[in-house]
Amino acid sequence: MSEFLTLTITAMVPFLFVAQGTMLSGRAGIFNVAQEGLMLLGAAVGYVVSLKAGGNVVGLVAAALAGALVGFILSWATTSLRLDQFVVGLALFFLAGGTASLLYRVVIGNDEPPRIAPLPDLVFGQDALVFVAVALSLFLWWWLYRTDAGMRLRSVGENPKAADSLGINVTRTRLWAGTVGAALMAVGGAYLPMVFSGVYADGIVAGRGWLAIALAFFGGWRPQFILAGSAFFAAMEVLAQRAQVSGIGVPHQFVSMLPYVATLVVMVFAFRWALVPQFLGKNYDRESRIVG
């Protein structure tokens, strides 16, 4: 049982980073849908840089920077250029995923990939990022609801025109929220080779990025509920792996399906109470003349 718990906590970390990043961008109105690609990019950059520069910390920082760049492109294209968020997000999903694959092939080629050192345990058999992820969630909750800057960010996602009319710079807020959010997503991806596999592979993310979007809705775009929700998603993932290994009489495909089914079921009900930011995915144009 304690092993199950340990595994669940570890599995929770990527979900937490990615879903909190989604939440942070979304609360400012940027609906990022490139999570899957950003995680792949983070995993590839994190792996390659850790390997070549010799250190997981450098790898994590590099992954975060790569994610930030993609997030900045998304935010810039949807604020300054007012392009459709969904279309740009999907394009960046392909771009980031393809870049990840390319980077791996260029650096490693077809050789047997060397394993990078796993993240060292800090206490209780858990690595430092576990604590960072949980602390980040609590910090985001405090920051969003207790600080002036958090209130400004929320107002931009709820009603950018109101925020603008009160002197809040909507474009700047969205730029940095989208950038930081994507950086968090890439860190969530970089965690995968550093803890689970030791190497990068194109299938390493395995849909976690898409699940993280569902998780943001599931958690009602609130950091504290996303923290709880990611534990649930992680437990489902571990359960599915268990079933695959031990064979509990149920086809493992069925158990692997559970997180997705659970997501679907939850979404049907969650939409009744989920508080989605009013301007999630919608661009803001000050001079648009909808109101005559």
Which residues of the shown chain bind another protein in the complex (CB under 8 A)?
148, 151-152, 154-155, 158-159, 161-169, 275, 278, 286-287, 289, 291-292
Which is it for the CA torsion 73, 227, 4, 261, positive or negative? negative
Whole-number Å distance between alpha carbons of 25 and 34? 12
Closest distance between another protein and the C-beta of residue 29, in Å? 12
| CB nearer another protein, residue 30 or residue 39 | 30
Nearest 5°: the CA angle 9, 10, 16 is 80
Nearest 5°: the CA angle 210, 215, 220 is 140
Quick one: the chain helix, strand, coil %, rounded to 5? 75, 0, 25
Nearest CA-CA partner of 129 in 139, 138, 119, 137: 119
| CB nearer another protein, residue 104 or residue 221 | 221
H runs (alpha helix) in 28-127: 35-53, 56-79, 85-107
| CB nearer another protein, residue 15 or residue 284 | 284
Closest distance between another protein and the C-beta of residue 155, in Å? 5
Closest distance between another protein and the C-beta of residue 286, in Å? 6
Closest distance between another protein and the C-beta of residue 220, in Å? 12
| CB nearer another protein, residue 101 or residue 159 | 159
Closest distance between another protein and the C-beta of residue 275, in Å? 7
| CB nearer another protein, residue 128 or residue 151 | 151
